[in-house]
Structure 1
Amino acid sequence: MKITGASAPVSTVSIGPQAAAAPAAAPAPAAAAPALQSEVLQPAAKALAALPDFDAARVAELRDQLAKGELPFDAGRLAGLIQRFHGGRG
């Protein structure tokens, strides 16, 4: 899976008694948050964009090992993990 593009800025909301009693405050300037996020997240976004969707060489290596019987495979264990992941739903 490859994630592309930028996400919308995240805002915080206070929940509780003080939030209900306090009058609505003016929103913070929209330009400040995206610029900060961009500066902070830009190196990570570039590194993520440079990664391949998957490691094709590693997939080929594992496929060869499975075909040769060098990599143990437990179908029952895989089935159990899939069932546990999906919560036993059918």
Structure 2
Amino acid sequence: MRISTGSPDGMAVQRVAESAPAEAAEAVAAPAVQAPLQSAVMQPALQAMREMPEIDQEKVDQLRDALAKGELPFDPAKLAGLIQRFHGSEK
């Protein structure tokens, strides 16, 4: 059985139950064959993503300055709740 759930960052997560038939587990483990069109369309986007820095330091600096000036609202309780929800320890 597959269960797709959304995460706070919008990415989908798939979980496969341990009781899944062996054929289903093999199908999940087998590499997917991409259609040539999909591959050709995706390659430029994948390359652009690889070239991006992992952290946008300019954006980090702008957000840090806005927080320091009080221009960006910050709710630590809301942040804590989002972190708990993301890690699956909802209350």
In 2, Cα distance between equivalents of 1:84 and 1:38: 35
For this pair of structures, how many residues does the alignment match? 60
1:20-42 C-alpha deviation (Å, 9 max, x unpaired): xxxxxxxxxxxxx58x4764543
The answer to whether structure 1 residue 59 and structure 2 residue 63 are counterparts is no
Which 5+ residue runs of structure 2 have no aligned equivalent?
A: 1-29
Q: Spell out structure 1 runs of 4+ moving beyond 2 A.
A: 36-42
* Separation in 2, partners of 1:40, 1:69: 43
Identity %: 54
CA distance in 2, matches of 1:39, 1:54: 27
RMSD: 2.6
Give distance in 2, aligned partners of 1:71 and 1:39.
Answer: 41
Of 25, 31, 45, which aligns to 1:10?
31
Q: Output the amino acid matched with 2:79.
A: L
Higher relative contact order (CA 8 A, sep 6+): 1
Q: Which has the higher Rg, Structure 1 or Structure 2? A: 1
Partner of 1:88: 89
CA positional deviation for 1:73: 0.4
1:42-81 equivalent positions in 2, closer than 5 A: 42-81=43-82
Q: What is the distance in 2 between the residues matched to 1:49 and 1:71? A: 30
Q: Which runs of no fewer than 5 residues in structure 1 stay unpaired? A: 1-8, 12-32
Larger strand percent: 2
TM-score for both structures, normalised by structure 2: 0.51
